[in-house]
A and B are shown apart, each in its own frame.
Chain A
Amino acid sequence: MSNAATGEGIGQPVRRKEDFRFITGNGHYTDDIARPRQTWAYFLRSPHAHAKIRKIDTRAAEAAPGVVAIFTGKHVADDGLGGLICGWTVSSKDGTPMKVGPHPILALDTVRYVGDHVAMVVAETLAEARSAAEMIDVDYETLPAAVALAACQSKEAPQVHPEAPRNTCFEWELGNKPETEAAFAKADKIVKLDLTNNRLIPNAMEPRAAIGEYDKGSGVYTLHTTSQNPHVARLVLSAFVGVAPEHKLRVIAPDVGGGFGSKIFIYAEETACVWAAAKVGRPIKWTADRSEAFLSDAHGRDHLSHAELALDKNGKFLALRVKTVANLGAYLSTFSASVPTYLYGTLLSGQYDIPAIYVEVDGVYTHTAPVDAYRGAGRPEATYLVERIVETAARETGIDPAEIRRRNFIRSFPHQTPVIMAYDAGDYEASLDAAMKAVDHKGFPARKAEAEKRGKLRGLGFSSYIEACGIAPSAAVGSLGAGVGLWESAEVRVNPTGNVEVLTGSHSHGQGHETTFAQLVASRLGIPMEQVEIVHGDTDKVQFGMGTYGSRSGAVGMSAIVKALDKIETKAKKIAAHLMEAAVEDIVFENGTFTVQGTDKSLPWAQLALSAYTAHGFPSAEIEPGLKEGAFYDPTNFTFPAGCHICEVEIDPDTGVTRIVNFVAVDDFGTIINPMIVEGQVHGGIAQGIGQALLEHGVYDPASGQLVTGSYMDYCMPRADDLPSFNLGFTKTVCPSNPLGMKGCGEAGAIASPPAIINAITDALGIRDIEMPATPARVWAAIQSRPRAAAAE
């Protein structure tokens, strides 16, 4: 029976293979693992945003009950360990490389944000480690801190790193300045907008954790850690930090409870645990509590931008110019330089044919936690800017918001934008039309009037977004400063009994790869999904791979599997031809059976698999025994998911509370393997986007640099009753740059939704802008400050 007939084929909403262990409490997250004789680590963190460390006295702590060892920055430095690195180099306009301050594992003489790592206490129990840490006496000389982003580039601002004067890491530009200036000079209309993209704290529900171990006999280090990309972690820890040679370091990322970017990065804690395990001679375990996660996980977003859009008299866009200041935090995290530059500036054309674009981005150090990729990474910031200014242009020109978008949509492909990207396929009007239909756009005036009768304000907001996903190809990212290649790997191992193990360099931390990937393999080989095991997350088992982020595991990871399956089929056909004494070109493989065209000769999959290993009578010069193939897949382009989200809100003017009454998302992800999983990804992304637009804000006190929103009582995570159910639809243009035609769906919701919500709120209130998060207090204040005429409308 074919996989389509069993309901397991491509395009089927197959229920997830991984669910059983999670719904029965049998998952294995890092903190669930206990290693024999393990000790516990606790990190003493800086209580100051900026201070010199005059002295650290650990004597009393060392004598505390249960303490095994205490490590400070001096121990790390004495051991010759390197610091943490940024894997992406960005250059300034003048050609100079970004200015990077050192990022030690444990602070040496200066702390640069609240939560910076000062010492690691290793003890028999976590409680003992924590108690002992309180007995460490650190003599700090507190210094003024650079916190408020807008003020950090001034001459007077406290310096985060002496290497970066005025706290400026880079002054990057992209696009064509003279062409942009010329277009502005002849514009009929110029629309200007200042925008804040609020700081977010990722908050995967599983806090980061690590267990470091060292085997004296073999000299092998093992690190269990909450990683989205264990091979990259191993590479950085060996080649740059110098913990151990790559072949003597095993990194395992078991079940990982969400990442959203925050678990891409290589952090101080896991580095210290695996390094110190050899010193202590016992495994060292560390699990962040939520307060530590707030302080030390890499944060997201945090941009200040000024944007200007030039239009002709028909509402056609002529040019866009943008100046952005991006907060990098106190140290460069693993990919932080790429996020506000190549993942941001390159998407500023949106879905529109804009002949000239020029963007300048200053990357700025502050005395706050490092800022790096968080779901969408640069693309939500770009989409927010583009869709807010397009909406503002519609209102200022009096052109209907849908119409101004239609007038400017890119309609022929491939399309080269002025900011690097070559869009390969899309139909932006199709998703706009579908979304308008789904939201009942025609009925909106009546709904608005009805709401007004009840004293409520209704608004409708559009967001026609595009993103670049599948972060790749290697040549492209290499030319833009990436220190790594961005391909993916796969190995398909057919066992003698016919079942299959697929080793993938992708990593699943909620995305359902064990199901989707198995669906692909099972349908290709014509075997039941239960006979396919997806193996990931262990550098000892899996060949080098690049991991999961940037919605790349479908388009890149599955393409690598396709390539390996192609090789499997080629070899299997050779074996089948030999066994059935036929010419290889006459062998047909369908629904798990090999047949010789035009005959009744056939061979089932399982028999072929066994024959591959018995290898009796193989012409050994032509056919090797066994059936196992590997592939590395490097795509030819990024993929370009796109679509239209429309949000309808109703605001209570008495309380300022915004209720989302309808949220429509129509997305074009190309080929979809499992629509149930894809819809789930969109739901989660929209929820995070609504969080950004209405609820979430990472706030530091501008004077002290203390994190004000350091717990779930202060940082407003979206709860179930903050959100509506979502109304989803799909359109489809196949992606031409990978064999499955996939585009990626993991980030679209978070990228598209914030401007739809803010456009809806500003529409409802009749105002130009409101800062995210549009909390009830802000909305209420905006209503109070409206001109009387607008308020009376």
Chain B
Amino acid sequence: MPVVAMTVNGKPASADVEARTLLVHFIREHLGLTGTHVGCDTSQCGACVVHVDGRAVKSCAILAVQAEGADIVTVEGLAKNGELHPVQQAFREHHGLQCGFCTPGMIMTAVDLIRRKPNLDEKTVREELEGNICRCTGYHNIVKAILAASQAMR
């Protein structure tokens, strides 16, 4: 079995994994970081989004071995020194979550979106969330939270 090694949330992480292991299963099963979720099996729902070298990636869509040497950030690594990331804060402030299952993927997608497009409007946010499915909120408050976070981060 191949050994994979990468940096996860600022710390080195490595394990022997079956070659077919997806990055999301490496993160959840091998590292015990269960904030990253699996909501589908066709790479549609986005509950598993993490950052790979600073970019949002569906961790169910790449193998762990493809992330060899990469710098990975999961939802657990977003808050710094006990301080929530502005996107996390905005999701709480604007009730952008209900059951919480899609939330880690939504937040990681939103952080990347705000980095790529600092001047967001509602239409853009809605289009950019194409790859993240939420069944609880109707997206109303998720969109509001992301717009508020992008304002706060300007």
Contacts and interface: CB of A to CB of B under 8 A. Distances in A.
A547 to B, nearest CB: 15
Contact of B42 (A18, A207, A290, A676): A290
Interface string B8-48: 00000000001010000000100011111111111011010
- Interface of chain B, helix or strand or loop or mixed? loop
14 contacts: A21-B100, A24-B84, A24-B88, A204-B99, A206-B39, A207-B38, A509-B99, A679-B95, A684-B138, A687-B140, A688-B135, A719-B129, A721-B123, A725-B140
Contacts of B42: 290, 711-713
Interface of B: 18, 20, 28, 32-42, 44-45, 47, 74-76, 78-79, 84, 88, 91-93, 95, 97-104, 107, 122-123, 125-127, 129-130, 132-144
Contact of A24 (B32, B37, B76, B102): B76
B56 to A, nearest CB: 15
B137 A205 contact: no
B138 A19 contact: no
A291 B45 CA distance: 13
B135 A16 contact: no
Contacts of A290: 39-42, 45
A721 B130 contact: yes
Interface of A: 15-16, 18-29, 31-32, 34, 127, 203-207, 255-258, 260, 287, 289-291, 509-512, 676-677, 679-680, 683-688, 711-713, 717-721, 723, 725-726, 749
Most buried by B among A32, A206, A677: A206
A671 B108 CA distance: 36
Contact of A22 (B45, B97, B126, B133): B97
B97 A717 contact: no
Contacts of A718: 138-139
A676 B144 CA distance: 13
A239 to B, nearest CB: 29
A683 B145 CA distance: 14
Contacts of A725: 122, 140, 143-144
Closest 3 CB pairs of A and B: A25-B35, A257-B101, A22-B100
B17 to A, nearest CB: 11
Contacts of A717: 44, 133, 135
A684 B100 contact: no
Most buried by B among A15, A19, A26, A676: A19
A99 B138 CA distance: 39
Given A680-B95, A717-B133, A720-B130, A257 B100 contact: yes
Contact of B45 (A29, A31, A205): A205
A662 to B, nearest CB: 14
A62 B20 CA distance: 23
Contact of B99 (A31, A256, A679, A720): A256
A19 B103 CA distance: 10
A473 B7 CA distance: 56
Given A16-B92, A290-B40, A290-B41, A205 B138 contact: no
Contact of B133 (A28, A205, A749): A205
Contacts of B133: 205, 712, 717, 719
B126 A720 contact: yes
Nearest to B103: A22
A440 to B, nearest CB: 20
B38 A31 contact: yes
A24 to B, nearest CB: 6
B135 A204 contact: yes
Contacts of B101: 27, 29, 204-206, 257-258
B92 A24 contact: no
Contact of A721 (B41, B76, B126): B126
Given A127-B18, A290-B45, A725-B122, A684 B84 contact: no
A683 B36 contact: no
A205 B99 contact: yes
Nearest to A207: B39
A20 B42 CA distance: 29
A19 B141 contact: no
Contacts of B39: 205-207, 290
A708 to B, nearest CB: 15
Contacts of B78: 24
A721 B45 contact: no
Given A27-B100, A683-B140, A684-B136, 11 more contacts: A25-B35, A205-B102, A257-B99, A289-B38, A290-B39, A680-B140, A683-B141, A687-B139, A688-B135, A712-B45, A713-B42
A720 B125 contact: yes
B40 A19 contact: no
B95 A26 contact: no
B90 to A, nearest CB: 10
A255 B99 CA distance: 8
Contacts of B44: 711-713, 717
Nearest to B131: A719
Contacts of A679: 95
Given A290-B42, A711-B42, A723 B88 contact: no
Given A25-B33, A720-B143, A721-B126, A511 B100 contact: no
A698 B99 CA distance: 24
B100 A255 contact: yes
A26 B35 contact: yes
B53 to A, nearest CB: 20
A203 B99 contact: no
Nearest to B9: A25
A680 B142 CA distance: 10
Nearest to A690: B138
A224 to B, nearest CB: 14
A451 B71 CA distance: 51
Nearest to B139: A720
A512 B79 CA distance: 23
Contacts of A255: 99-100
A711 B44 CA distance: 9
Contacts of B141: 680, 683
Given A205-B47, A687-B138, A15 B18 contact: no
A707 to B, nearest CB: 14
A25 B33 CA distance: 8
B41 A205 contact: no
A720 B142 contact: yes
Given A684-B98, A711-B40, A203 B143 contact: no
Nearest to B101: A257
Contacts of A205: 37, 39, 45, 47, 99, 101-102, 133-136
